[in-house]
């Protein structure tokens, strides 16, 4: 049981809730709508999502998977990742319509009042 | 409960159930018990003029006793109208539901007839056994009653 790499990471097996919570928070992956935003922005500006060389990131930040928001050490690792089930699942999720706060508010009947601006531009 | 994501977006949750489902990265549009699911699928009334009354208003309004009284009366009335419309919407939605359910059941029976056939055969056999045993019991009773009829006076007294 628990032979996967993530299970062996420091803090993930902690019984103390505060340590567990901390590791869980800092390893929290990006949400779907965040990635959808990034992709949208990239397509609008025409600039692909790229990183400058950074020693602290795996592979210097040069092998980045946009759909899952992960860095890889080399091109082979990235290619392998793109064959994985996790990647394919994420791609499927990204194709769906974006779920935003506005949609949530509409669903719960908490719409906002639209008013003319208080200080109109002259 | 409030969760602030690292891009400073705030998420308020009505209950821990919602928070946990958010942490599991579930899409509310796909979870059947959410309002988002029900409204996008047309299970609930989504477009109506009564929804326009209740809105978050970020601009303060100067206190006016008359206005407040009117608003309270209007709120009750709007709620009433919304409820009747909701009920009507539900009725419309459920109109064909009964027939549809029956149809689906029939299709299911036809699909899995192999499963049902032996059970039905078994039931027939059981019924036959029951009938046979009942017949034999009746016959036995008749025989015994015949014996009793030889002494009718005693039977009458008992009756």
Q: Quick check: is B88 in a domain? A: no
Where does the pLDDT of residue B159 fall: very low under 50, low under 70, confident under 90, or very high at 90 and above? very low
In B32-112, alpha helices (H): 35-40, 65-94, 97-111
Instruction: Please say if the pLDDT value at position A2 is more than 60.
Output: no
Instruction: Tell me how far apart the alpha carbons of residues B12 and B7 are, in angstroms, rounded to a whole number.
Output: 15
Instruction: Calculate ∠ Cα B133-B139-B143, nearest 5°.
Output: 145
Instruction: Please say if the pLDDT value at position B155 is more than 60.
Output: no
pLDDT of residue B124: 82
Q: Which two tokens mark B31?
A: 């979870």
Contact call for residues B74 and B53 (beta carbons, < 8 A): yes
Instruction: Please say if the pLDDT value at position A114 is more than 90.
Output: no
Q: Is the pLDDT higher at B75 or at B60?
A: B75
Across the interface, do A113 and B56 touch by the CB < 8 Å criterion? Answer: yes
Where does the pLDDT of residue B56 fall: very low under 50, low under 70, confident under 90, or very high at 90 and above? confident
**Span B10-30, mean pLDDT?**
92
Q: Quick check: is A54 in a domain? A: yes
Backbone angles phi, psi at B10, to 5 degrees: -105, 140
Q: Which of residues 56-85 of B touch A (CB under 8 A)?
A: 56-59
pLDDT tens per residue across span B71-123:
999 999 999 999 999 999 999 999 888 888 999 998 988 888 888 778 777 88
Q: Which residue of A has its CA nearest to B3?
A: A25
As for the ipTM of the complex, it is 0.77
Domain that holds residue B15: 1-44
Please tell me if residue A119 touches chain B, with a CB cutoff of 8 Å: no
The number of folded domains in chain B is 1
CATH number reported for the structural domain that contains residue A48 in this entry? 3.30.160
pLDDT of residue A1: 44
Determine the residue among B5, B32, B49, B60 to mutate to test chain A binding: the one whose Cβ has the most chain A Cβ atoms within 10 Å. Answer: B5
Closest CA to A65 of A55, A54, A75: A75
Q: Quick check: is A61 in a domain? A: yes
pLDDT tens per residue across span A14-55:
778 778 777 777 778 899 999 999 999 999 998 888 888 988
Q: Quick check: is B141 in a domain? A: no
Q: Quick check: is B102 in a domain? A: no
Q: Quick check: is B72 in a domain? A: no
The number of folded domains in chain A is 1
What 3-state class would DSSP assign to A82?
coil
Domain that holds residue A57: 30-95
Q: Which two tokens mark A22?
A: 């901390």
pLDDT of residue A39: 93
Across the interface, do B51 and A113 touch by the CB < 8 Å criterion? Answer: no
Q: Quick check: is A83 in a domain? A: yes
Q: What percent of chain B has pLDDT over 70?
A: 92
Q: Quick check: is B8 in a domain? A: yes
CATH number reported for the structural domain that contains residue B33 in this entry? 2.30.170.20
Q: Given A32, A97, A108, which is nearest B35 (Cβ)?
A: A108
């Amino acid at each position: 049981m628990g032979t996967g790499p993530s299970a062996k990471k420091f803090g993930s097996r902690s019984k103390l809730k505060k340590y567990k919570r901390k590791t869980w928070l800092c390893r929290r992956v990006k949400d779907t709508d965040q990635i959808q935003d990034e992709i949208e922005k990239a397509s609008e500006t025409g600039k692909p999502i790229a990183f400058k060389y950074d020693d602290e990131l795996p592979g210097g930040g040069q092998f980045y998977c946009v759909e899952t928001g992960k860095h890889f050490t080399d091109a082979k690792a990235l290619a392998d990742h793109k064959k994985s089930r996790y990647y394919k699942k994420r791609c499927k999720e990204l194709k769906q319509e974006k779920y935003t706060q506005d949609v949530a508010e509409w669903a719960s009947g908490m719409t906002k009042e639209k008013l003319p601006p208080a200080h109109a531009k002259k | 409960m409030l969760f602030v994501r690292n891009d400073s977006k705030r998420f308020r949750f009505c209950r821990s159930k919602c928070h946990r489902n958010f942490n599991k990265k579930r899409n509310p549009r796909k979870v059947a018990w959410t309002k988002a699911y029900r409204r996008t699928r047309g299970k609930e009334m989504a477009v109506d003029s009564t929804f326009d009354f209740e809105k978050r208003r970020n601009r303060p309004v100067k206190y006016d006793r008359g206005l407040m009284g009117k608003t309270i009366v209007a709120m009750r009335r709007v709620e009433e109208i919304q409820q009747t419309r909701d009920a009507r919407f539900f009725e419309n939605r459920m109109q064909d539901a009964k027939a549809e359910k029956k149809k689906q059941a029939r299709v299911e029976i036809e699909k899995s007839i192999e499963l049902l056939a032996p059970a039905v055969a078994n039931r027939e056999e059981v019924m036959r056994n029951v009938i046979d045993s009942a017949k034999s019991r009746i016959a036995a009773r008749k025989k015994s009653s015949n014996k009793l009829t030889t002494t009718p006076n005693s039977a009458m007294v008992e009756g």
